[in-house]
Structure 1
Amino acid sequence: MPNEIDWSDSYFHDYVDRGIMKWQGMYLSEHTAEMEKEQQLEEKMIPAKSKMSESDIQQVLASAYEAQSLITLQLEMKDMDNNYFEDITGKILGFDELGILVDEKLVLYEEIRHVALKSFHKWSDVSKEE
């Protein structure tokens, strides 16, 4: 039969499968990447900012809304490891008696720990701050 494969041909026997060795290499690289990711999360601990009074928070929010300035908010909430979440940054799009809308995210007044106007460092400014 002409369509029959000759399995004794050396072409099929030259390949040597590395078997479990290649899987161990893949596991090692994935494990290393996961460990690096965990280390980055540990290094990214966000310190607590000073707790502001309600009147101070309202004053900063009012001036930011009026000037349409960017703000940064630190919330009172913490993650499971007792670390603060990253600051919320954006413009105040609206507000009501319960909270504010910051770039499509509703933030209740009672959740706000600290609020500040977002400051920018001009890239062309080379003067040293002392």
Structure 2
Amino acid sequence: MNRIFEKLTRHLAKNPRRLFLIDSVGALLTAVLLCGVLSNLSPYIGMPKTTLNLLFSIAACFCFYSAACFLFLKAKWALYIRLISFANLLYCALTIAFLFIHYNKLTILDLMYFLAETAIICLLLYIELTVSGKILNKR
């Protein structure tokens, strides 16, 4: 597993644009799931619709940020990767805070979705920080 992770991060350090593409697609998927699926299922899930809309708005902003970096960024990859990493970390913290705030209303579907999403984002966050470190160490 370590060998696969090392190979992946080495590849992404050589091609940091791809990391922004992965982040953008992930944020788009999150936004679609929050707005298109969970928001429409709000009578059956416990997370309030206003909370879902807030998380959707944040995910949409992250999608645009990462897409803009993918399309237009030419230098200072590590800085912009670290910015989206920090933003992803704050998103995870906010999501976990909402899980605690609304815990009594949540269904098992809510918990499964938001914990899985947070775990995936944390994995991406770890990859992003590792890649930005490798980019900085090349200099």
Regarding TM over 0.5, the answer is: no
More helix by share: 2
Higher Cα Rg, which structure: 1
Q: Taking structure 2 as the reference length, what is the TM-score of the superposition?
A: 0.23
Q: Which has the higher contact order (CA 8 A, sep 6+)?
A: 2
More strand by share: 1
Q: Taking structure 1 as the reference length, what is the TM-score of the superposition?
A: 0.24
